[in-house]
Structure 1
Amino acid sequence: MRIGELSRATGTSTRALRYYEEQGLLAPERLANGYREYDEEAVRRVAFIQDLYRAGLSSEVVRDIVPCAGVERPAGDCAGLLRRVRQVRDQLAEQEAQLAARREMLERYLAGAALPAGLDSPLDKDA
């Protein structure tokens, strides 16, 4: 399939697909006329790439991970990459916990259940 067809099949812009190619994430065949030709596996690969980007991984990490998800495994250390992805996941969980604690503290202040240090009367609830 050509780049426009892959774009429609994945909901990804042709610009993004060209970027993925520049980053070494997609490797289309080049026809004699210079057109890109993608195989059916490209649809799955693009979806996987988009998921990794949405998860907050950098292009560098995505570039290392994508080959490990293919049919043919690279000679590199895929286990190390999985550890890196787990590390990013754990960092996100830690950030979520911190945000939840901050939100809870603000809720307690707004409900009058807690006072900021140094205040001896509840916050003005009308403010």
Structure 2
Amino acid sequence: MRISELSAKTRVSVHRLRRYEADGLIESQRLPNGYREYDEKTVKHVIFIAMSREMGFSLSFIAEYLPRFKAGKLSAKEMIEAIHRRVAEIDQLVIEQKALRKKLMDHIGWFKAQTKRKP
């Protein structure tokens, strides 16, 4: 299938598909006219990549896990563990952002207090 068909089947932009190919995540065959031709199995690979990106996984994470996914050796348990680790990362970010928010609010309070002190 051509890149436009792959894009339609996976709802991933042609630009992003080219990026995934440039990064070595997916492969195509080049036709004599220069067009890219993709296998049907590439649809599953792109969906895995897109879902991983939606969950906030990095391209390096995907590059590590994708070969096992392609080989049928990536278990649901392994992915669940990876997702749990991602949730823990997000929880930590939330804690850090809440602390930053508190600091900002404290600074607002300080500046308001300074303004009230001036005659």
Q: Does TM, normalized by the shorter one, top 0.5?
A: yes
Please state how far the C-alpha of 1:35 moved relative to its aligned partner.
Answer: 1.2
Q: CA deviation at 1:93?
A: 4.0
Q: TM-score with structure 1 length normalisation?
A: 0.61
Structure 1 unmatched ranges of 5 or more: 74-78, 101-127
Matched residue count = 100
SS of alignment partner, residue 32 of structure 1: coil
Find the aligned partners of 1:60 and 1:32 in 2 and give their Cα distance. 32
Q: Counterpart in 1 of 2:87?
A: 89
Q: Which amino acid aligns with 2:86?
A: V
* Structure of greater relative contact order (alpha carbons < 8 Å, 6+ residues apart): 2
Q: CA deviation at 1:20?
A: 0.6
Q: Report the counterpart of residue 120 of structure 1 in structure 2.
A: none
Q: Distance in 2 between matches of 1:6 and 1:23?
A: 17
1:5 aligns to what? 5
Q: How many percent of aligned residue pairs carry the same amino acid? A: 33
Match status 1:21 vs 2:21: yes
**Superposition RMSD in Å:** 3.0
Q: Runs ≥4 in structure 1, deviation > 6 angstroms? A: 97-100
Instruction: Tell me the SS of whatever aligns to 2:20.
Output: helix
- What amino acid maps onto 2:88 in structure 1? D
In the TM superposition, 1:58-97 aligns within 5 A as 58-71=58-71, 86-95=84-93
Helix, strand or coil at the partner of 1:56: coil
> How far has the Cα of 1:82 moved from its partner?
8.3
Shift of 1:63: 1.4
Higher helix share goes to which structure? Answer: 2
* Structure 2 unaligned blocks of 5 or more: 99-119
